[in-house]
Amino acid sequence: MGQRFTRRDVLFAATGSAAGIALSPLPWKLLGDSAIWTQRSRFAPEALRGDVTTRFSACTLCPAGCALRARCVGTPALPVSMTGVKGNPVTHGALCPTGFAVHHLARHPLRLKGPARIDLRKGGVEAVSAKADDVVAAVAAAVRSSKGAAVPLALLDLRPGRMASLECRRVLAGIPGAIQVVPASRDASTLDAIRAQLDGAAAFGVDLEKPSTIVSFGAPLREGWGTPGTVPVLLTRQNAGTLRLVQLEARRSPTAEGADLWLPIRPGTEAAVALGLAHLLVTEGLVAPEVAKRARDLDASFRSFVAPFEPGAVERISGIPAATLRSLARALANEPTLAIGSGAPGGEPLGIEEERAIAILNLLLGNPGPRSGLVARRELPAPVPDGALAPQLSLAGIADGSVGVLLIDGAAETVPWALVAAKLTPASVVVSLSPWLAGPALHAAWAVPAPAPLESLDEVLTPAGAPVASWALAPPLLPVPEKAMAPAAFLESLAAALGSPSAAPELPEPLLKRRAAAIVAAGRGKVFVPGSSSLLPLADAGGADGLYQKLSAGGAWIDEPVSAPVPLPLFDLLPPAPQATASLASVAVLGRPARGAQAGPNLEPEGYVGSTGTAPEPAILGKLGRESLLRTSTAARRSTPVTIREA
């Protein structure tokens, strides 16, 4: 009898098989394997392989100059991650978020690899590659045709004071009419203003361990004023209740949010508030007797000058209630207080008038003094320059409409463009020496990119506000593009094209060794050794060469603090020039009128701008904004008195 297969049998067999397979490991194995197969994506990049090494350098993107410990992989060793250098007494091992990805910036999409013509006519900005000789010839022609301008050629140095800056001045000296221009330091501008009030007696720094109260006129103290390494000191003291932070700022910045008292003043009224506090100190007899003895003009003339800034008037100008201002002035007079002004992080400094008003407030509070933390600081030793140097002027010291050709040396535009543009002639030509098609390059006709941070040997000067001078080196960690050109080399080519050939610019290494020799000759200070986190006396550093080697290996030279207090000289509170006094009064009184009647506090949009001005940000920093909303507004308005007046 033959076996019969019915349709039912087939269905049974199929169902049984399916059930059997389902109960076997096979489908689960397939699921797991398919998960693995689908991840063998052609998009997955391969990481570098090779030996892992540690190298030291410093971030030169902003003047803070944070020390870097780089983890490098492969041959040649390329950095894959950055951390701060623990134990470094200048930067305290801290880095800002950008510092952790600074090695990404050399390969940023906006990086310019060689000279270019900046084309603004195509609905955007485009860099059209050009030959270096053509750019030099074009800029030389522009300089020749600017002979009628008061300043035919100016170099705006956004990181002044470096040996490379000095070298540029030396090369510029060979070009008739050429000058170097330096902007005001954002974080050190208050200290510079106090120095100017005291007739340049000494440079000042801030010892944050000292003051009981800090009145900050917009200084980003909790965001890294001077250097990110200052934040831990401030936080520790604030949390312990030994330091009170009063923030006068229009923005809802992280510092304002973390201050013990936040007074949201109207934008641009810093001078009025400072003079209002000065008025109260004077009229309520809160000025210390020793200050009254040293101030030559603390008489009827100063009283009449500050008379318009009585609390009621300041309330109308700034929006700060008169009662609040009164209680603040009384509190400040009773404890060691320091007033600091600063522009927005990554932005520009407050105006000259505002800084002068804050300096006056400091002088009335008894600063500099032993208890307020405003300490004298020695200058960083520098070698005597060889040969003639081109004149150096401050940006504010140049007449409007006077510059024919402007070269901008610096990666980040830390000065409002409106202030720079005012100095240019109508037919001016701007040349950007920034490594990126960003910041200064967006205003330029030509770009001659310099090496980016970490691509060339550089130096790190004393951070703004530091209580002692310091110096460190930033050895290169990345290869430099073939066509990148150091600013001094470009100037040399330009000088030759203009028929004023100069000696070839000195290479960075011998230049920096000259600074090391000057420090050794000064014979003071200590050397930080990163491996052991120890401090060596300078005498044990092994001379100039030894010091240079130690700094090349991640060390830092730190000056000794000035132990003796600065004797307070006789000083004038008001500037000697009548027009300067009038300008101060005018700026303070005008301030910024209220934007209509507002019931609530007058606030600018909250924001947290980067610490690098207009240099491009590494793409990974998008984690802080779009991907987390930690920084809610990357396009925050940066209102400071200067920008408001320009507006």
Partner 1 sequence: MHTAKKPTDGKNHRYGMVIDLDRCTGCGACMVACAVENNVPPGDPAANERTGISWLRVYRMNDGKPLPETRTAFVPVPCQQCGVSTPCLSVCPQNAVDIDQSSGIVGQIPVRCLGCRYCMAACPYHTRSFNWWDPVYPAEMRESLNPDVSTRTRGVVEKCNFCFHRLQQARAKAAAAGGKDEAPGEYVPACVEACPTSAFLFGDLDDPASDVAKAAKGEGTFRLLEKLGTDPKVIYRSAKPWVRQTAEGALPRNGKEEHRG
Scanning residues 211 to 270, which ones bind partner 1 (CB under 8 A)? 222-224, 228-229, 231-232, 235, 239, 252, 254, 256-258, 262-264
Matching residue, tokens 């030994």: 242
Matching residue, tokens 């934007």: 595
Q: Which of residues 580-639 bind partner 1 (CB under 8 A)?
A: 600-601, 603, 608, 618-624, 626-631
> Minimal distance in Å, beta carbon 43 to partner 1?
4
* Dist CA 442 CA 458 (whole Å): 25
Question: Which is closer to partner 1, CB of 263 or CB of 485?
Answer: 263
Query: How long is the chain?
Result: 647
Question: Which is closer to partner 1, CB of 416 or CB of 453?
Answer: 453
> Minimal distance in Å, beta carbon 417 to partner 1?
26
> Minimal distance in Å, beta carbon 29 to partner 1?
11
Residue 81 sits in the site that holds partner 1 (CB under 8 A): yes
Residue 438 sits in the site that holds partner 1 (CB under 8 A): no
Residue 63 in tokens: 């003047």
Binding mask 95-134 for partner 1 (x = CB under 8 A): xxxxxxx-xxxxxxx-------------------------
> Minimal distance in Å, beta carbon 28 to partner 1?
9
Residue 451 sits in the site that holds partner 1 (CB under 8 A): no
Nearest to 431 by CA among 418, 447, 420: 447
Work out the angle at residue 465's Cα, subtended by the Cα atoms of residues 585 and 411, and round it to the nearest 5 degrees: 90
Number of residues that bind partner 1 (CB under 8 A): 74
Q: Which of residues 262-321 bind partner 1 (CB under 8 A)?
A: 262-264
- The overall longest dimension of the chain from CA atoms, in Å, is 133
The answer to whether 594 touches 602, Cβ cutoff 8 Å, is: yes
> Minimal distance in Å, beta carbon 630 to partner 1?
5
Sorted by sequence, the CB contacts under 8 Å of residue 536 that are 6+ apart come out as 526, 527, 528, 529, 550
Binding mask 175-214 for partner 1 (x = CB under 8 A): ----------------------------------------
Question: Which is closer to partner 1, CB of 10 or CB of 619?
Answer: 619
Question: Which is closer to partner 1, CB of 95 or CB of 295?
Answer: 95
User: Does 232 sit behind a cis peptide bond, omega within 30 degrees of 0 on the bond before it?
Assistant: no
Question: Which is closer to partner 1, CB of 103 or CB of 377?
Answer: 103
Question: Which is closer to partner 1, CB of 44 or CB of 300?
Answer: 44
> Minimal distance in Å, beta carbon 32 to partner 1?
6
The answer to whether 507 touches 476, Cβ cutoff 8 Å, is: no
Question: Which is closer to partner 1, CB of 414 or CB of 602?
Answer: 602
- Strands, sheet with 78-84, edge to edge from the N-terminal-most edge strand: 52-58, 67-73, 78-84
* Dist CA 486 CA 495 (whole Å): 14
Nearest to 168 by CA among 419, 443, 495: 495
* Dist CA 538 CA 417 (whole Å): 43
What are the DSSP calls for 582-615, one per residue? HHHHHHHHHS---SS--SS---PPP----SSTTS
Sorted by sequence, the CB contacts under 8 Å of residue 457 that are 6+ apart come out as 473, 474, 475, 476, 508, 509, 512
CB atoms near residue 530 (< 10 Å):
20
The answer to whether 438 touches 424, Cβ cutoff 8 Å, is: no
Residue 141 in tokens: 């022609």
* Dist CA 169 CA 448 (whole Å): 18
Work out the angle at residue 596's Cα, subtended by the Cα atoms of residues 595 and 601, and round it to the nearest 5 degrees: 70
Question: Which is closer to partner 1, CB of 84 or CB of 369?
Answer: 84
Work out the angle at residue 75's Cα, subtended by the Cα atoms of residues 70 and 79, and round it to the nearest 5 degrees: 20
> Minimal distance in Å, beta carbon 641 to partner 1?
20
Question: Which is closer to partner 1, CB of 327 or CB of 586?
Answer: 327
Question: Which is closer to partner 1, CB of 1 or CB of 31?
Answer: 31
274 half-sphere exposure, CB direction, 13 A CA radius: 33
Nearest to 502 by CA among 487, 484, 489: 489
CB atoms near residue 186 (< 10 Å):
27
Question: Which is closer to partner 1, CB of 101 or CB of 196?
Answer: 101
**DSSP 8-state assignment for residue 454:** T
Binder of partner 1 out of 65, 84, 226, 404 (CB under 8 A) = 84
Q: Which of residues 339-368 bind partner 1 (CB under 8 A)?
A: none
Question: Which is closer to partner 1, CB of 65 or CB of 368?
Answer: 65
Question: What are the residue ranges of helices labelled H in 458-542?
Answer: 487-497, 508-522
Question: Which is closer to partner 1, CB of 92 or CB of 378?
Answer: 92
Binding mask 39-78 for partner 1 (x = CB under 8 A): x-x-xxxxxxx--x--------------------x----x
Binding mask 5-44 for partner 1 (x = CB under 8 A): --------------------------xx--xx-xx-x-xx
> Minimal distance in Å, beta carbon 38 to partner 1?
6
User: Does 368 sit behind a cis peptide bond, omega within 30 degrees of 0 on the bond before it?
Assistant: yes
* Dist CA 281 CA 274 (whole Å): 11
Question: Which is closer to partner 1, CB of 499 or CB of 622?
Answer: 622
